[in-house]
Each structure stands twice: as structure tokens, then as C-alpha cells.
């Protein structure tokens, strides 16, 4: 973990979003016991962020429940500019 290489363009794109006022939170499957090494890595690589959530379920079938709109950005192998895309989401019945 401590020697992982940062993805190309990640620093520029994520810090740009931070500077534009986006609230940056990393959501990772790493265990709480790996928090310190993760925070050190983020700092050493110069990433600006507001929060770090540990213990994301593995396998991708999880739900984030909130009373506000949550904007999720899925990393798909390359950091580029975001585009708008219409998708279907599940919401609770009124």
C-alpha cells in the first residue's frame, strides 16, 4: 500500500475538483487498521481531500443511504474530465 503508484492525472483532476469547491471523500475497502498508512500515502502524494471512509464492502453491491443527493464518481481506469450521462437510479417510493 505505501509504495502504490498514483494513477496518471489523478493528482491534477482531484485537486482541481477540490479547489473548485467539490467535497472530496475517498471510499476504500481498506480496513480501519490501514488508515494511518493510507493517510500518509495521500499526503505524500499531494492529494487534497476532506474525508476518508474505510471498510467499503467488497464486491460492489452496497447502498449509500442519505437524505441528500450523493454524487458518486466511478473510477473506470483513467482520470479525465467528467461528462454528463443520463442513467437510471433506484429511489424509495414516495
pLDDT of residue 41: 96
Q: Where are the domains of the chain?
A: 1-94
pLDDT of residue 62: 76
Report the predicted TM-score, pTM, of the whole model to 2 decimal places.
Answer: 0.75
More confident residue, 71 or 50: 50
| pLDDT, tens digit, 9 for 90 and up, residues 3-13 | 889 887 889 99
| pLDDT, tens digit, 9 for 90 and up, residues 28-70 | 989 999 999 999 999 999 999 999 999 988 876 777 788 887 7
More confident residue, 2 or 32: 32
CA distance linking residue 11 with residue 42, whole number of Å: 10
Q: Is the backbone of residue 18 left (phi > 0), alpha (psi -120 to 50) or beta? A: alpha
Amino acid at each position: 500500500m505505501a509504495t502504490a503508484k498514483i494513477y496518471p492525472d489523478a493528482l491534477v483532476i482531484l485537486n482541481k475538483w477540490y479547489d473548485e469547491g467539490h467535497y472530496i471523500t475517498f471510499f476504500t475497502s481498506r480496513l480501519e487498521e490501514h488508515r494511518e498508512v493510507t493517510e500518509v500515502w495521500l499526503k505524500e502524494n499531494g492529494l487534497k481531500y476532506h474525508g476518508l471512509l474505510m471498510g467499503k464492502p467488497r464486491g460492489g453491491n452496497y447502498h449509500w443511504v442519505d437524505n441528500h443527493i450523493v454524487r458518486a464518481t466511478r473510477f473506470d481506469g483513467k482520470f479525465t474530465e467528467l461528462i454528463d450521462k443520463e442513467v437510471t437510479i433506484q429511489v424509495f417510493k414516495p
